């Protein structure tokens, strides 16, 4: 093996480009077909007669890269304005003994630059073989999931605060509807993001495990540096398993958040309805209580002669005990109405 491996990176190749590269590197027709057809299935294929292994690995693409690619090709971005969705792009690695060829239809400037910087820093201390470069690219792709996982962790913690916090939604109905809409959209966005990441990580562990076994050959060392590369691949596999376990945990929490939040909303709506019913009942009782003494007051307000009043003198004479009688009758009627309402309340 040459001390320093060569590295050829191809971004957004055309059919003519891949035909020329295929003739130059003696690539198998199936490899060219997978690259040109943009096969999305992650896999590892070994071509011993041609002296290379072909790795298909899916990575997250940045919004800036996708936007630039769409503008250049006059295409419409299917992920634009779609909350909770992440872009996916295929990374094709053709790993020879003497070098490596990487192909990406959208390009991977972040991963390429990261591995290239690492190569420049460690080229005097570490053998920069093609296997080491392939490991660096796969490790960079897997590590790019952790910042998003941190964002998911923070959002899940915020959702748990909304669900199990002590604060109550006591504002106006418009504020309640707005807060409810925001909470549900946040939960839906997080669930979709977790589902997308889980799907994207589904087959990575198996692919890395196959690569690791390829270097160890079921426990037998194939090359001197095979054990070291296999150890590095095992570290990538551990990262993938940790990501999958964390996403499974967050998926469980988010799946329980919907019924929990709906239950809380039912409780809030029920308490609001009870308060409204009490207010309507109180207003109705006050209205009826104001109408009850009406007949009594009207009866004693008629323009009739009473035994204690004189008709000759314009100024009434006699005692005013009829006023007291009217007041007492009104109080008796009101007390009877209150007793009747109390009886109805107890019966209900």
The answer to whether 18 and 35 are in contact (CB under 8 A) is yes
- For the record, the structure tokens of 272 come out as 């609001």
Model pLDDT, residue 174: 43
- Of 128, 160, 176, the domain-final residue: 128
Does residue 140 sit within a domain?
yes
Model pLDDT, residue 315: 54
One domain, residues 148 and 114: no
Tell me if the pTM is above 0.85. no
Does residue 91 sit within a domain?
yes
Domain ranges, residue 94: 1-128
Does residue 324 sit within a domain?
no
- Partners of 11 in the β-ladder: 104
Does residue 285 sit within a domain?
no
- Of 85, 108, 128, the domain-final residue: 128
Model pLDDT, residue 107: 64
CATH number at residue 160: 1.20.58.340
Model pLDDT, residue 62: 57
Model pLDDT, residue 189: 85
Q: Tens of pLDDT along the chain (348 residues)?
A: 445 789 999 888 888 888 999 999 999 999 999 998 888 889 999 998 999 999 999 888 755 544 544 454 444 444 444 444 577 888 999 999 889 999 987 767 788 888 888 888 877 777 788 888 999 999 999 998 998 898 888 888 887 777 766 555 444 444 455 566 677 778 888 888 888 888 889 889 899 998 888 888 744 444 556 778 888 888 999 999 999 999 999 888 888 887 777 777 777 777 777 777 677 777 777 777 777 777 766 766 666 555 555 555 555 555 566 667 778 877 887 788 788 778 777 776
Model pLDDT, residue 322: 65
Does residue 65 sit within a domain?
yes
SS3 47: strand
One domain, residues 242 and 119: no
Does residue 305 sit within a domain?
no
Structural domain tally of the chain? 2
One domain, residues 105 and 55: yes
Model pLDDT, residue 217: 73
Mark residue 23 as left, alpha or beta (left: phi above 0; alpha: psi -120 to 50; beta: remaining).
Answer: alpha
- How does DSSP assign 155-208, residue by residue? HHHHHHHHHH-S----S-HHHHHHHHHHHHHHHHHHHHHHHHHHHHHTTHHHHH
Model pLDDT, residue 81: 45
One domain, residues 249 and 187: yes
Model pLDDT, residue 218: 45
Does residue 169 sit within a domain?
yes
Does residue 41 sit within a domain?
yes
One domain, residues 145 and 115: no
CATH number at residue 84: 3.30.460.20
One domain, residues 31 and 51: yes
């Amino acid at each position: 093996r040459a001390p320093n491996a060569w590295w050829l990176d191809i971004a957004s190749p055309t059919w003519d480009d891949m035909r020329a590269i295929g003739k130059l590197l003696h690539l198998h027709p199936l490899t060219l077909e997978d690259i040109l057809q943009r096969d999305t299935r992650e896999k590892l294929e070994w071509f011993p007669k041609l002296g290379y292994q072909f790795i298909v690995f899916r990575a997250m693409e940045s919004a800036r890269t996708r936007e630039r690619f769409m503008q250049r090709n006059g295409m419409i971005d299917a992920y634009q304005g779609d909350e909770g969705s992440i872009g996916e792009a295929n990374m094709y690695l053709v790993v020879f003994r003497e070098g490596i060829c990487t192909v990406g239809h959208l390009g991977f400037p972040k991963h390429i630059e990261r591995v290239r910087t690492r190569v420049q820093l460690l080229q005097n201390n570490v053998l920069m073989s093609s296997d080491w470069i392939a490991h660096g690219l796969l490790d960079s792709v897997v590590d790019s999931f952790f910042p998003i996982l941190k964002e998911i962790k923070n959002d899940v913690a915020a959702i748990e605060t909304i669900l199990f916090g002590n604060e109550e939604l006591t504002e106006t109905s418009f504020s309640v509807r707005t807060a409810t809409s925001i909470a549900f959209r946040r939960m839906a966005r997080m669930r979709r993001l977790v589902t997308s990441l889980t799907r994207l990580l589904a087959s990575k562990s198996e692919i890395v495990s196959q690569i690791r076994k390829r270097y160890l050959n079921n426990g037998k060392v194939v090359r001197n540096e095979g054990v070291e590369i296999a150890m590095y691949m095992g570290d990538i596999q551990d990262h993938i398993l940790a990501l999958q376990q964390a996403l499974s945990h967050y998926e469980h929490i988010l799946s329980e958040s919907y019924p929990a939040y709906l239950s809380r909303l039912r409780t809030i709506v029920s308490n609001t309805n009870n308060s409204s019913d009490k207010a309507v009942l109180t207003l109705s009782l006050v209205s009826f209580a104001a109408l009850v003494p009406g007949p009594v007051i009207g009866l004693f307000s008629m323009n009739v002669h009473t035994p204690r009043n004189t008709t000759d003198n314009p100024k009434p004479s006699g005692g005013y005990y009829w006023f007291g009688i009217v007041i007492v009758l009104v109080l008796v009627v009101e007390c009877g109405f209150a007793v009747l309402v109390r009886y109805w309340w107890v019966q209900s």
